[in-house]
Structure 1
Amino acid sequence: MADPLIHSPIARDTVVDTLVARLRADVLAERYAPGTLLPPERELAAGYGVTRTSLKHALVRLVEAGLLETRHGVGTRVRDYRRTAGPDLLPFLVTLDGPSWLVEIFAARREIGSLIAARAAEQAGDADRARLLALRDEIAAAPGGDPAQLAEAEVHRALAAASGNRVYELLVNSLLRAYDDVRHLFAAPFADPAAAARRITPLVEAVLAGNPTAASAYADAYYLCTERLMLGGDSDHHDARDDDRQGTADR
């Protein structure tokens, strides 16, 4: 029997993954300010307790992510991620500073979601409509919590697909992935699957009816309602803005 105190060496890929995560966090936290050069590789590798080979692999991945740029004879410079990175960086930003980023993610979720819903109402085909209805029913039939929440996420992917715009699909993926690791913190709207299905039904029906104005209004109201629930608010009381949206949708 092998000695339990003797472990196999850590795979290089594991070291690189860990190093990428640490470097990325330090860059995003501006431990290394945008526009500045990182310390020389030998010094940087020693500071993180890794080999220069592992460091080089990690730097390549952060260059590909748009966080760094390397120039021969100059060194590795920190880039301004707000100018060079894409939405795939959002999950890491949420991990680093969740509250401030989530406010903006929820705003983008509502605004982009309303646009997507309107476009889906205009473009949805029979297969799209059937998919939306099936997902609405899947939410209603799901056990409370994660299964209902995952089914609801698929509704948003289905709406983006129905819009006919592949960029919308990628944006929805990025927004959903932004808080996927902490989605258990936002499970309140899905504790009662039947209620969750009722909340999303007006949006689904507006898309099925081919009414972009109603779809946009109901999407906006839906996102506001679920956002309040996610953040601990009371969705059973609508403010005047919700009433205005409902009236717009009904016209």
Structure 2
Amino acid sequence: MTERHIRREAVSDQLFAVLRDRILGGGLPPGSALTAERDLAAEFGVNRHAVREAVKRLQQARLVEVSHGGRTLVLDWRRSAGLELAVGIAASDGGPSVADLARDALEMRACIGADAARLCAIRCSEPAAEEIVEAAWRYARSGPDLADLGLADVAWWRLIVEGSANLAYLLAFNSLVDGTLPVADVPDDLRTAELLDVETHVRLAELIAARRSEAAERLARELLSRSVPATPRKVVR
């Protein structure tokens, strides 16, 4: 009797998701050996090629590694995995909750946005600075509908992040706004204080154009932090 059979479409993807959830949920703790290939094939009623493909994806996600003895060992994902795993965590049956991950992503957004504003004030060209100011005034005319403000806000911040000339920040920004991370699914009404503060958006744009990098950083952090939930988060050790 198998514990769980996999549907026939996208077999390796489904098996990867099951094994990922076991690792994230602690069913396969760090340092333990992953179930042998033949046993996984028997458990889920799939062929060994599907198992190998699933394990390959686990390796790419830095959830497991093949030891010198040939065994596949589970890694401590909190130490080995990258930001791309956040997608898996959001869809997982185990590990951190979507609410916790959304909070974490909003905190990251505030940190990246603040430093991007600082770097933008230092690095962006004069035409780019002028465009940021113009976009801020367009933002001021976008309300009061929160959905419209949300779209205008993303467009405005993209100019700032691009102006920072930091590729890592830009790629993280893309993940934050395109739905890869759950922050993109946070309801606009939870960001009301930030989105409706038109004056601060305009002021931040003016600080960037005036090359006042430290003031821009402080104001950006203050603005973005308004959307971070105030509820305490459990510390994971």
Instruction: Give the TM bin, normalised by the shorter chain.
Output: 0.7 to 0.9
TM-score, normalising length: structure 1: 0.72
Unmatched 5+ stretches in structure 2: 1-6, 232-237
Unmatched 5+ stretches in structure 1: 1-8, 233-251
**Alignment match, 1:164:** 165
Compute the RMSD of aligned alpha carbons. 3.2
User: Could you list the per-position Cα deviations for residues 91-143 of structure 1 after superposition, in whole angstroms to 9, with x for gaps in the alignment?
Assistant: 33244412333333332222232111111111111343354345442674379
- Change in 2 beyond 3 A, CA 1:52/1:154: farther
- Change in 2 beyond 3 A, CA 1:94/1:196: farther
Within-5 A mapping of 1:37-56: 37-56=33-52
**Alignment match, 2:16:** 20
Distance in 2, matches of 1:194 and 1:33, equals 42
Quote how far apart the aligned CAs of 1:183 are: 3.1
125-134 vs 212-221, greater mean Cα deviation:
125-134
Q: Higher helix proportion, which one?
A: 1
Quote how far apart the aligned CAs of 1:44 are: 1.5
Alignment check: 8 A CA contact 1:203 1:219 kept: yes
TM-score, normalising length: structure 2: 0.76
Within-5 A mapping of 1:79-228: 79-96=75-92, 97-133=97-133, 135-136=135-136, 137=138, 140-141=141-142, 144-146=145-147, 148-176=149-177, 180-181=181-182, 183-188=184-189, 195=196, 197-227=198-228
- Change in 2 beyond 3 A, CA 1:78/1:112: same
**Alignment match, 2:28:** 32
Instruction: Using the aligned pairs only, state the percent identity.
Output: 26
Distance in 1, matches of 2:195 and 2:141, equals 5
Say which SS state the counterpart of residue 228 (structure 2) adopts.
Answer: helix
Alignment check: 8 A CA contact 1:116 1:159 kept: yes
Say which SS state the counterpart of residue 84 (structure 2) adopts.
Answer: helix
- Change in 2 beyond 3 A, CA 1:193/1:215: closer
Alignment check: 8 A CA contact 2:64 2:75 kept: yes
Say which SS state the counterpart of residue 120 (structure 1) adopts.
Answer: helix
- The number of aligned residues is 220
Say which SS state the counterpart of residue 58 (structure 1) adopts.
Answer: helix
